[in-house]
Amino acid sequence: MFSGIVFDLEKTITDFYRLVDWRKARIDIVKIFEDRNVKIDERMLASREEFISNFDKLVMGLPFHEAAGLWEDSSAKLEEYELLAIQYSKLRPYAWDVLRWVRWRNLKVGGIALSTRRAALELISRFNLQTYIDVVVGRSMRYRVKPYSDQILHCISEMKGRSNEIIFIGSDENDLKASKTIGVYTIIVLADSIVKKHIFKTADCIVENLYQLLKFLEKTFSSS
């Protein structure tokens, strides 16, 4: 049976993902690359998520120390915008109820974020969720972000769990790709009404919102 749950923090539990001012952050990041005379393909900067997931391609061919320096500087600059956005973030309806139920069941809980771990910790602190989430994994040069599975695998490792004992709960295609690649039971919450269910046909379960998620979890664990 399941021993833990990993949540996407920025889109499934909160609405944080849409609040970071990527337009301004993008300008600053381009300047960081230009100041180091590194040509940047701005087509890979369409969004915060694309920039982070494409970073390896952006620095391809550079010596490791130069690539690491660009990562540290651009990630730090982006973190400034992430920290500013936290104050405007809101919990999704029924997020509290889901997390309280999970804690009541004594399940291990992890959270992954596109932002840095510092920003992710401040985000959960804003809503006093520290006692409900055991492990938080933010972006790092060591772990590729979704659609790769690195963050989820690291989170499961820190939770001392196994992939076949973990439920992953996310809200978009990258969540689905990252979790199904490693065989994790995946629940997709349709956080945005524009998302169509057929996109997520390989998910193990699809729910409309966190209220439906709570009811599904209650039913699933009551029958175990």
User: 182-192 pLDDT, tens per residue?
Assistant: 999 999 999 76
Task: Tell me the C-alpha distance between 74 and 68, whole Å.
Answer: 10
Task: Compute the distance between CA of residue 210 and CA of residue 11 in angstroms, rounded to an integer.
Answer: 12
What pTM did the predictor assign?
A: 0.94
What's the rounded mean pLDDT across residues 119-134?
97
Q: What is the pLDDT of residue 194?
A: 55
Superfamily of domain 4-16+90-222 in CATH is: HAD superfamily/HAD-like (3.40.50.1000)
Of 216, 224, 218, 5, the C-alpha closest to 108 is 5
Instruction: Kindly tell me the number of DSSP H helices and DSSP E strands found in the chain.
Output: 9, 6
Q: What residue spans define the domains of the chain?
A: 4-16+90-222, 20-86
Cα 80-53-91 angle, rounded to 5 deg: 55
With contact defined as beta carbons under 8 Å apart, do 86 and 46 qualify?
no
For 94-124, the pLDDT digits (tens) are 999 999 999 999 999 999 999 999 999 999 9
